[in-house]
Amino acid sequence: MSLTEILIIVAGAAIGYWVVSLMMEKKRPARPESAPGSESRPPDPPDPQPGPRPWHEVLGVAPEASPAEIRTAYRSLMSQYHPDKVASLGPELRELAERKSREITQAYREVMSARGDEA
């Protein structure tokens, strides 16, 4: 190989690297610029909604849902969020599942007692 061929290969590789890096930069999401020397940390999660949510939002049904629809929604949500489902996972996930299942159960009992059905 001659010196000219080596230079052409090196120049082609450098140009190719530059083109690919430009393409990757376009796909990368924009990050906010931080002040020099400041630590970057993930954004704070949104504040939870103040006060308890209405029962129909917790259960994911319409306010005029039938008792059968309410019961089905309750059982479906409890099968997802029951604390026993995440017993082997970390304590944060167990606590989240316990809070969510308490909220679901409270909403279910509230609507069923208000309608005179058994909870």
Tell me: the pLDDT tens digits for 34-50? 555 555 566 666 655 56
Beta carbons of 6 and 14 less than 8 angstroms apart: no
Per-residue pLDDT tens digits for 56-98: 999 999 999 999 999 999 999 999 888 888 888 888 888 999 9
Question: How does residue 30 score in pLDDT terms, banded at 50, 70 and 90?
Answer: low
Question: How does residue 22 score in pLDDT terms, banded at 50, 70 and 90?
Answer: confident
Domain 55-114 CATH assignment equals 1.20.1630.10: no
Beta carbons of 74 and 59 less than 8 angstroms apart: yes
